[in-house]
Amino acid sequence: LAANYNASLSTPFISSAHGTSVAGIIAAEGNNGIGVAGVAYKAQWSEQLFGSALLNASTFMWANQAHPIKNNSWGPIDNGELHSITTVELDALKEAVEDGRNSKGIIFTWAAGNGGSNDRVEYDPYAGSRYTIAVGAISNTDQQSSYSEDGSSLLIVAPSDGASSGIVTTTLNNNYDFNYGGTSASASMAAGAAALMLEANSDLDWCDVQAILARTARK
């Protein structure tokens, strides 16, 4: 991960096993004979904080000319209840998508949730937003992972765990997780795919990326 890490755009000292695994799926360096390669293995990555409404809004707006894609492998607790989003967060998402990246829009990928049949994607107001790409999980048997939620705001699914194997990626202390999963992994896969799209055509706007994901998905 180190070769592709952009420290100048990161909030320091927040490394975690979860975040390190997410980053590895997206942007672990490739062609170096070490460990794993990310989906977009030439992409740079940074790490940001989330938490309070003001902090989240600040992160949604942070360095938007330098962050064409912002992956979010987090969300409210998957408890089957409808959650709310604050006005300050919604306004920040809207502004990032409408004005970020020279008005082409920041691409927000979002974990669709791990509540299974006990929850729905649109109960999470972030994954349920029109400004984000909600990503669910399928297993290596090509079936919906049991924890992956249904919902009207689910746009796409991507590989994760849930059957006989999971995702191999980086983790703390220069180690590897050989069975990583959840919709956190799926969202990271989609973020990497979006990065490859923008590498091929940086003029794609946020609606273009959603449309390409939907139209090229294998049903």
pTM of the model: 0.95
CA dist., res. 146 & res. 43, Å (int): 31
Structure tokens at 129: 């937003």
Within 13 A of 166's CA, how many CA atoms are on the CB side? 17
**One-letter identity of residue 129:** S
Contact 113, 80 (CB under 8 A): no
Spatial separation of the C-alpha atoms in residues 126 and 70, rounded to whole Å: 13
In order, the DSSP letters of 84-102 are ---HHHHHHHHHHHHHHHH
**pLDDT truncated to tens, each residue of the chain (219 aa)?**
999 999 999 987 677 899 999 999 999 999 999 999 999 999 999 999 899 999 999 999 999 999 999 999 999 999 999 999 999 999 999 999 999 999 999 999 999 999 999 999 999 999 999 999 999 999 999 999 999 999 999 999 999 999 999 999 999 999 999 999 999 999 999 999 999 999 999 999 999 999 999 999 998
pLDDT, tens only, 87-129: 999 999 999 999 999 999 999 999 999 999 999 999 999 999 9
